Structure 1
Amino acid sequence: MRCTAILAGVIFAASGLARPLDIPAVDTSLLNADLTDITDVTDIADLPDLPDLTDVPALPISVSVSALPAKRQVDLSPITDLANDLLGEVTGTVTDLLPTVVGTLNDVGATIDGLVANVETADLDSTLAEVESILSSTIAEIEAVTSTAGVDLSGELATVQAELSTAVSEAEALVSSVQSLLGLVSVTDTLTEVESLAAELVDLLAGLL
């Protein structure tokens, strides 16, 4: 009898453990949904609109023009006066002309050297234009004097050899200065003409030696 009661209790306990757990049903509606018509992610998610970057105002940027160095024009009036004096003395002699030529070439050479030293701030175009005019006038005056009837070059040159040699040296130094400037700036027609005139002066003066 006791064994029967124990066996019945074991069977009862086993039947209680075998009862299924109460698990809630899983919603499978999403698995059965038709996703073939979804072409835009906005169909399944409400995304916020992105801001329009073109509406961002431009930042004001100020540029100070005063910070840029101003171009300085070289005062060539003293040399221009010398050139004017040359033009007013066409009937002069080589002896009278050479001191003015030497002074003119010396001043023009110093002007070109000044451009080389201050190439970033000097007014190259205006200065070179004046130098071109001065050299052209100097060449014209030398040619006018040496070709004037009655000028005895052989007699006069014997007394001005030293000064003529100085003039040639000044012209050669001018050519060297112009070539130095050519190595620092963009080549322009005016600068090329200045170099050509300086070289012409060397040949012209050397031809009188």
Structure 2
Amino acid sequence: MAPRTRKDARRAEIVRAALEAIAERGYRGASLASVAERVGLTQQGLLHYFPTKDDLLVAVLAERDQWDSAPGSGWRADLLAALVEYNVMRPGVVQTFSALLGESVTEDHPARPYFTLRYTRVRAEMARSLRGEYGERLPSGLTPEQAAPLLVAVMDGLQYQWLLDPEAVDMAEAFRAFLTLLGTEPRTGS
């Protein structure tokens, strides 16, 4: 892996600041000027790193996906359960993702193509991993293609419920209960 350049480090700092601003105000409410101010740049200086607000948004989403991906790990039940538990420790990231996902359902939202492609890829990867682990049928009788969108829906739906009422919704416990329904309980130990 090549060493990080100063420009790479600055871009990473801007992405973190944008994530914070979006978490606080939503995509439409987070201005380039406010992100620039957080990192000690002018808006024009920020545009040197990200020519448009949409470019910055895509960088924020890609960074968030990097945090959630372990290369070669697939989407095994135990890793998904661990990801849900990890998300409990980073409510700002979960809030940003959830806010952007909700906003992206509108036709003109710049993140709509990103989320559409992301969900297509995630469902396919989950189905492939489930097939590798369970074959053509999960213990519940569902096919991997039937289970994959359900896993995504439960993960994202639990995030919304947890963000709205964290005292009432134990996201990690509820996800483990769903895995039990699917017959794909997380493995314990290695």
TM-score by length of 2: 0.31
**Pair member with larger Rg:** 1
Q: Which one has the bigger helix percentage?
A: 2
